[in-house]
Structure 1
């Protein structure tokens, strides 16, 4: 028969293992969420940059040439 001390130790051990497992699962969920949010923010910024560059190119095309504001050397890309 198991004594009271050993039974209590087993309960504490099981609770500790369960808590560690749960904390690990929560950390994995949070890590995945941070990664996904970071990717979405990066994609959003990239979309904004691409739209800005497209608008600048459209302005150059509409104005009939001239210096491309995207080309930082000031040279006409054509």
Structure 2
């Protein structure tokens, strides 16, 4: 019995490996992008929280100043 692979089967295996490698690469890139978007959103949210806290502190300081006059 001849255990050699046909050219068609070899081509099929090559295409299968290429598609699998491509899918893995796309998944890796998607994961990187997802993590980056989440990190940016968290950073912007943290900045917005800081802005609100600073604004509230400034309002309290201004009100305290007016109350003392």
State the shift of 1:63 in Å. 1.4
1:51 alignment partner, one of 48, 54, 57: 54
Distance 2:33 2:67 in 1: 51
TM-score, length of structure 1 as denominator length: 0.80
> Matched residue pairs, number?
65
TM-score, length of structure 2 as denominator length: 0.90
RMSD over aligned Cα, in angstroms? 0.9
Please list every run of 5 or more consecutive structure 1 residues that lacks an aligned counterpart in the other structure: 66-78
Aligned to 1:15: 18
- Runs of at least 4 residues of structure 1 off by over 3 A? none
- The structure with the greater share of residues assigned to helix is 2
Distance 1:20 1:9 in 2: 16
Determine which structure has greater relative contact order: mean sequence separation of CA pairs < 8 Å that are 6+ residues apart, divided by chain length: 1
Aligned to 1:6: 9
Please list every run of 5 or more consecutive structure 2 residues that lacks an aligned counterpart in the other structure: none
